[in-house]
């Protein structure tokens, strides 16, 4: 039996609990025979498309609201602002879209969600109903629409409630087990597929250059290019085994800059040789793993095309990614509503230049009518060769055809026992001892928890008590949690035990006898941490980034 069937039994040989739940062809699209050659089928479909239909394939906007055909007044207002229509289904039909993006408003820890004024994600059941309605609105050509989101886990997670979580990217790197990574991302992909998402803007393939990079931070698998490459390839394989298109990002690499590209254009000053050796290996590995898409970043790569965002750079997208690196899949632009693009071009101009640079799928144009109008005008004037539009649309439709034969799992696969085991396994594999003993109990007597959030302390409290450890609000052994935006002033430097849940760099400033890192703050991470504190498990992880004054692992 394939690994995908082992992890999502309800999608293959249905479990008794899921026997009553129907399964559907990719994201509830009408049943079709999986094409022998997706590219051939795509070429036939594209040949019959009008210019407006071709443009609809290369635009991937957001449409707000929790249902396809009925939304709140607030969501309708935002939809009218960006697309001139009230509901997601109306937008799909009006612009003949081949894809749509799901978003949420995020929280204070998520550096990527602040541009979203509202949401279209609430619960797994709601998302599945929304995506089912979107597929009804958008599958006139018999192929499933691309329904995408950013599900990286850690700080960037769009659907959080009701799914089996993974630790941060650094947590996956700390576990240093690519086979486990592949299983974990196949599990995650299966759950995305169950709610109707068939394209994930993940994994983050950026190689982390140092502690100052707050926009990438724990989203990265680590600081070693070869290790990040191995983990990226494994994540790609896992997602795509589950029938979800992986989209490694942010080409050619966002890890060696401290600027947030949502607000200004990061400048990469490394030499071309350093770019090739430090930033590109994960993208090469993703291509070797047959990734179906890659996302370009708004990055000023001085050694290749100074002053031009990579998303708008023909030198980077065509000469480097297409020609040198031999990538033949879908190139996705980072969001066109971000400042490095909006400062340079209006909506119509940005769409034309993004296509000419080599993007095939234009993400989040800030004004959909302007983008459509600009592309039509570019065709009419000759600025945009129709062959370039056809090429881009064909790649997008080929991806849709790849997904046409995939069976959508039942919702009962979410948080199934098999999935929960995978989530627990990778959380446990990430726990790392950076200072202190490697076996036996690390705490004794009563434990007092500080730092973190109420939820994280509650999870850890329950897990410690399940391991026979008394937890109190005063006295005892202090276990201090840190991470997710904490600074030096948030530390308890003399705590008996300090635990880093996110980026580990602050741990260099504590004097605790025992220093651990979970590289994640999920319930599974807190359960794994409790087992290590109680001496019921060892900490097998290894920090994927250097921490001043501390080893990668104190336990060899």
Which pLDDT value is given to residue 213? Answer: 76
Cis peptide leading into residue 203 (ω within 30°): yes
CA atoms within 13 A on the CB side of 412: 14
Return mean pLDDT, the chain: 91
pLDDT at 22 over 60: no
Calpha distance 469→466 (Å, rounded): 7
**What is the CATH number assigned to the segment(s) 36-416?**
3.20.20.300
Which pLDDT value is given to residue 260? Answer: 61
Confidence of residue 115 (pLDDT cuts 50, 70, 90): low
Q: Which two tokens stand for residue 222?
A: 């680590």
pLDDT tens string 36-94? 699 999 999 999 999 999 999 999 999 999 999 999 999 999 999 999 999 999 999 99
Using an 8 Å Cβ cutoff, are 141 and 158 in contact?
Answer: no
Which pLDDT value is given to residue 556? Answer: 80
Q: Which range, of 4-18, 264-278, 287-301, averages the lowest pLDDT?
A: 4-18
Which pLDDT value is given to residue 10? Answer: 36
Residue with more model confidence, 244 or 212: 244
| CA nearest to 402, candidates 242, 277, 181 | 242
Calpha distance 240→399 (Å, rounded): 12
Which pLDDT value is given to residue 31? Answer: 45
**What is the CATH number assigned to the segment(s) 431-533?**
3.40.50.1700
Q: Which two tokens stand for residue 235?
A: 């994540």
Using an 8 Å Cβ cutoff, are 515 and 506 in contact?
Answer: no
Angle between helices 347-357 and 368-381 (to 10 degrees): 60
Q: Which two tokens stand for residue 549?
A: 């004054």
Which pLDDT value is given to residue 342? Answer: 87
For the chain, give the number of residues.
556
The residues annotated as belonging to the active site are: 262, 334
CA atoms within 13 A on the CB side of 78: 16
Confidence of residue 106 (pLDDT cuts 50, 70, 90): low
Strand 151-153 vs strand 156-157: parallel, antiparallel, or unpaired? antiparallel
Cα–Cα separations (whole angstroms), residue 543 to 236, 268, 505, 548:
22, 25, 11, 12
pLDDT at 542 over 70: yes
Domain spans of the chain, in order of start: 36-416, 431-533
What distance separates the 2 farthest-apart alpha carbons in the chain? 77
Q: Which range, of 112-121, 402-411, 445-454, averages the lowest pLDDT?
A: 112-121
Q: Which two tokens stand for residue 334?
A: 């980072």
* DSSP-assigned letters across all residues of 393-425: HHHHHHHHHHHTTPEEPPGGGTT-HHHHHHHHH
Range 228-252 average pLDDT: 98
pLDDT at 13 over 90: no
Strand partners, 194: none
Question: What sign does the dihedral 418-423-427-430 (CA atoms) show?
Answer: positive
| CA nearest to 537, candidates 424, 448, 373 | 424
pLDDT at 150 over 60: yes
pLDDT at 34 over 80: no
């Amino acid at each position: 039996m394939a690994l995908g069937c082992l992890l999502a039994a309800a999608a293959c040989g249905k479990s008794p609990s899921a026997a009553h739940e129907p399964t559907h062809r990719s994201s509830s699209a009408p049943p079709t025979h999986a094409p022998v050659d997706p590219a051939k089928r795509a070429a036939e479909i594209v040949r019959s498309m009008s210019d407006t239909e071709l443009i609809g394939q290369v635009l991937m906007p957001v449409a707000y609201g929790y249902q396809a055909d009925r939304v709140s007044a607030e969501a309708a207002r935002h939809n009218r602002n960006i697309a001139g229509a009230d509901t997601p289904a109306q937008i799909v039909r009006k612009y003949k879209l081949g894809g749509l993006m799901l978003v949420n408003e995020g929280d204070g820890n998520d550096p990527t969600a602040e541009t979203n004024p509202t949401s279209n994600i609430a619960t797994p059941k709601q998302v599945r109903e929304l995506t089912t309605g979107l597929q009804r609105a958008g599958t006139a050509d018999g192929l499933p629409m691309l329904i995408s989101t950013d599900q990286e886990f850690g700080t960037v997670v769009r659907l959080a409630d009701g799914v089996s979580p993974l630790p941060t990217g650094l947590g996956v790197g700390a576990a240093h087990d690519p086979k486990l990574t592949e299983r974990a991302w196949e599990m995650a992909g299966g759950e995305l597929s169950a709610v109707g998402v068939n394209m994930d803007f993940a994994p983050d393939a950026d190689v982390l250059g140092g502690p100052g990079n707050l926009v990438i931070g724990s989203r990265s698998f680590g600081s070693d290019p070869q290790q990040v490459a191995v983990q990226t390839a494994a994540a790609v394989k896992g997602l795509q085994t589950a029938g979800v298109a992986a989209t490694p990002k942010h080409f050619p690499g966002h890890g060696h800059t401290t600027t947030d590209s949502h607000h200004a254009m990061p400048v990469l000053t490394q030499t071309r040789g350093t770019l090739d050796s430090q930033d590109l290996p994960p993208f090469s590995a993703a291509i070797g793993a047959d990734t179906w898409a890659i996302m370009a970043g708004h990055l000023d790569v001085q050694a290749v095309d100074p002053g031009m965002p990579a998303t708008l750079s023909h030198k980077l997208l065509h000469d480097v990614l297409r020609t040198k690196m031999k990538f033949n899949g879908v190139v996705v632009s980072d969001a066109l509503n971000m400042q490095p693009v909006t400062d340079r071009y209006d909506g119509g101009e940005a769409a034309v230049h993004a296509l000419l640079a080599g993007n095939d799928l234009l993400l989040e144009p800030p004004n959909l009518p302007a983008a459509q109008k600009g592309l039509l005008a570019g065709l009419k004037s000759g600025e945009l060769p129709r062959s370039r539009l056809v090429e881009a649309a064909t790649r997008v439709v080929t991806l849709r055809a790849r997904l046409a034969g995939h069976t959508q799992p039942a919702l009962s696969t979410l948080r199934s026992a098999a999935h929960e085991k995978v989530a627990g396994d990778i959380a446990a594999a990430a726990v790392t001892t950076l200072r202190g003993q490697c076996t036996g109990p690390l705490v004794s007597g009563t434990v007092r928890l500080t730092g973190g959030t109420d939820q994280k302390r509650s999870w850890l409290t329950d897990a410690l008590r399940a391991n026979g450890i008394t937890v109190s609000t005063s006295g005892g052994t202090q276990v201090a949690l840190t991470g997710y935006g904490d600074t030096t002033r948030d530390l308890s430097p003399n705590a008996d035990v300090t635990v880093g849940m996110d980026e580990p760099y602050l741990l260099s400033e504590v004097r605790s006898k025992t220093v651990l890192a979970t590289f994640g703050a999920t319930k599974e991470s807190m359960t794994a941490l409790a087992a290590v504190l109680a001496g019921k498990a060892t900490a097998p992880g290894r920090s994927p980034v250097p921490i001043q004054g501390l080893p990668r692992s104190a336990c060899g």
